[in-house]
Amino acid sequence: GEPELVKDANSRALGLRVLRDHRVAVAYSSDFAPPAMRQFARESVELCGLAEPDPLADLPDRHEMARDVPELDLWDETAPSLDAAQALRLAIEGEQAALQFDHRVTNSEGAVMGRVMGATAFASSVGFSGGYRGTSLSLVVAPVCDDAGGKKRNGHYWTASRFASGLREPEEVGLEAARRTLAKLGSRKIATCQVPAVFAPEAGHSLLGQLAGVVSGGAVWRKSTYLAAREGTLVASPLVTVVDDPLRPRAPGS
């Protein structure tokens, strides 16, 4: 019920990718002073000269660059006004709802209200220049229950959105966190066997993350994935179709 940490941090960085004579180098700097920028550029070019040649290390053709960048509504104008006092109040409301739900909820690993705001810009020497800004807000509540034999059962539930209006109410998050933690009471190991598996909707996030890792361009190019050279073939149940769409308005990965 008491705040343990209030953290407010800002950062900025510039990344420079140099491609020259089929060699590539990538460097980053947080010093934006003009003299530092000039030195940064010189050192990046020198670093490029030390890289191993790569026949694929080249910029795309100009005609392959995007001409129109859609507005995806990723910025919440109200997010900057969320101060520490408001964030603490929301976190406390969520935690209290979990603690009051059932007497077996005896402790808490905390409740965290977070806000991230950022802007990204990209430009290349073949003519592309564009950028966007975005916000992200989240609340997580993590209650602890007492089980038989003094065991502690941990659980959590969360809500997240680009917009504050898209978050679930703190009390709702706390109650669901408590319900999910209580559902673990009395859980036990079972013998090894083959059984149908039922995943919670939230598990889809990590399952898709596993898939993304093995279909990434880098993994395929290095042939470090079992899905290399599998383009055009069935790799999952016919019931499963995954679409990667980075242009969904207000979506977290857009």
Q: How confident is the model at residue 171 (pLDDT cuts 50, 70, 90)?
A: very high
pLDDT per residue as tens digits for the range 19-42: 999 999 999 999 999 999 999 999
CA-to-CA dists, residue 72 to 9, 57, 246, 254, angstroms:
26, 31, 10, 8
| Half-sphere exposure in the Cβ direction for 35 (13 Å, CA) | 0
| Predicted local distance difference test score (pLDDT) of residue 155 | 95
Q: Is the pLDDT of residue 127 over 90?
A: no
CA 158/CA 143 separation, integer angstroms = 12
Mean pLDDT is lowest, of 76-80, 134-138, 149-153, for 149-153
pLDDT per residue as tens digits for the range 225-252: 999 999 899 998 999 899 889 999 999 9
- Give the rounded percent of residues in the chain with a pLDDT score beyond 70: 100
pLDDT per residue as tens digits for the range 61-91: 889 988 888 999 999 999 999 999 999 999 9
- Residue 128 contacts residue 122 (beta carbons within 8 Å): yes
Identify residue 99 by its one-letter amino acid code: L
Angle value at C-alpha 209, between 208 and 211, nearest 5 degrees:
65
- Residue 170 contacts residue 97 (beta carbons within 8 Å): yes
CA 1/CA 92 separation, integer angstroms = 6
Its pTM stands at 0.84
- Give the rounded percent of residues in the chain with a pLDDT score beyond 90: 75
Q: Is the pLDDT of residue 181 over 90?
A: yes
| Predicted local distance difference test score (pLDDT) of residue 68 | 86
Q: Report, as an integer, the average pLDDT of 208-219.
A: 89
Q: Report, as an integer, the average pLDDT of 7-12.
A: 92
Among residues 133, 160, 12, the alpha carbon closest in space to that of 75 is found at 133
In the block, tokens 């995007």 appear at 66
| Predicted local distance difference test score (pLDDT) of residue 221 | 86
